[in-house]
Amino acid sequence: MSSMNTSYQQFLQEQQMYQNQQAQMAQQALTASGLSTFTQNVRQAQQQLMQVQQDLQQAQAQIDMQMDAQKRRLSETQQRIEQVVQQMNGFVQQSQAQPMPRQTANYYPQN
pTM of the complete model: 0.45
Environment class of residue 3 by beta-carbon count within 10 Å: exposed (0-12), middle (13-18) or buried (19+)? Answer: exposed
Task: Average pLDDT across each block of 10 residues of the chain; the chain has 111 residues. List them in order.
Answer: 72 89 84 73 91 95 95 98 96 82 60 56
Diameter over CA atoms, the chain? 136
CB-CB contact of 24 with 32 (8 Å): no
In the chain, where the domains are located: 11-83
d(CA 67, CA 63): 6
